[in-house]
Every structure is written in structure tokens, then in C-alpha cells.
Structure 1
Amino acid sequence: MAGIGAIFRDSKGEVIMSAAKKEVSVMTAVEVEALAILRGLQFCILLGIQNLVIESDSLLVVKEFNMQGSSQATFGNVVRDAKELMTRFGTCQVQHVIRSCNSTTHSLAKFGLSVQNISLWWGAYPDVISNILWSDSSTL
């Protein structure tokens, strides 16, 4: 079992939506990270978002997404599906961020283990990450 967390922000850094989801398949950390990107893309399509920047602290996953051609990674099927979805956007970039810049989504992913299936917060976020978000916004 794994938890996935996602924070959707606008160009000013304001939270549009946050989500926590439980995935029932046992996976490695890089597989979960790739799956989180796939799930985020699915949400963005539903929301009608046309341009996005995806941030991940997994350099291996970012390299797989930015690589030309087919992925040979064990999670290559997830990368393939996500890349196919990425073509539906006007612009879609996958960028690497250091882990300390991704602490909000890690906390949300841990929280995802406790949800039944999925929890969504529109224009908001759960209390479990409010201190981290406040800390992040004070460094901007």
C-alpha cells in the first residue's frame, strides 16, 4: 500500500486544490512517484488545465519523463501512460526539485495512507500540511 499526495498551485503559488490518495498495490518509491505524476495529470485534464509544471524530487523519475523514446524502467508502463496524457496539454514540463522543497507533498502522501480511497480539497488543504504550507509561503 502507498499514499500519494498532490498540491495543485496557480502561477502565483496559491493552492487551487490538494489531494491525498491511497494506492493498494505495493510499489517501490520511484514507481509511486511516477504513479503520482500520472494521477496528477488525470486530475489536471478533468480540471481543464492547459499548461502545467510538474515537480518531483526523484531525479530518476524526472529523467525518465524527460527522456526521448520508450522507458526501460520497471515503471515504464506508468511513464508511457503519463507521457501520452502529457500530449493533451498546451505545455507540460517535468522538473526536478530538491526534497526539502517537496515536503508538503510528502506529508500529504503519508496522510493518503489514512484515507479510504481519495480525499480532495478544492481551494484548500488538510490541517496536516497547513504548517508546512505556511512555512513554504514565508520563504517565497
Structure 2
Amino acid sequence: MELLPKIPTAKAPAERFSGDVWVDMLAQGVPPSRLVAAEVRFAPCSRTAWHRHALGQTLHVTAGRGLVATRDGSVIVLRPGDTVHTPPGEWHWHGAAPDHFMAHIAISESGGDPAVADVDWVEHVTDDEYRTAATSL
């Protein structure tokens, strides 16, 4: 058994997130574990860019209200206690509602290096894409 060192809270990189988003790494698996887990806190209207995970991703909402949306236009409204899974390779984004903060635990696996969650990041979600998804609230 080992108490792992705490990693300081970090501002999420602007290349991958729009708005004010903060990340606390909770776990980066010690091999052979491939676990990557983080608490992510989103200010109202903030969100990820479009991305996909090679091995899928699970989100568990701990506070606030938010959205997760896919390229086909599917939208799930997120509330505390909700858990959503995006399967391997599914393009999606997630973030806070326009008038609420949102926090979730993001859980994924790396393909080998536990510090890299095997994520493909592409363009930012446009304001129009965000507004369209937010009509589901």
C-alpha cells in the first residue's frame, strides 16, 4: 500500500477546453493499472473540445448541471449522481449548463502509459453547437 503524492489543481488547457475549467488528477494508475481519473470543474458555459477516447470514458457528475453531446446530435443532461459512458471511439464533448457550474469525475484508461488517456482532441465546440445542445436543458 502506498499514499500517492497529490497533484496540484491545474487550469485546463485552452487548446482542449473553452471557458474556465479546472482539473484535479485523482489517479494515474501504477502499472499494470491503466486507470486515469480526474475531477473536472466547469464554470457556466465552459466545455471540452470535441474528443474521443480509444478505450471509452465514464463521467460521474458530483455537482451542478451540465451536458454531454455526440456528433450525431444526441444530448444527455447531467445532474448530480448521474453516470454516463461514452464507448470507445465516440466523438463527444461535455461541459456546464449556461447558468450552472458542473463538476464530474472523469474515468478512462490509457493504452499503455497511464499518464496519457489515449484521447484524440480536435476542434472546439462552436457557440452554435453549444446553444443547440443547451436547448435540451
| Same fold (TM > 0.5) | no
TM-score between both structures, scaled by the size of structure 1: 0.26
TM-score between both structures, scaled by the size of structure 2: 0.26
Higher strand share: 2
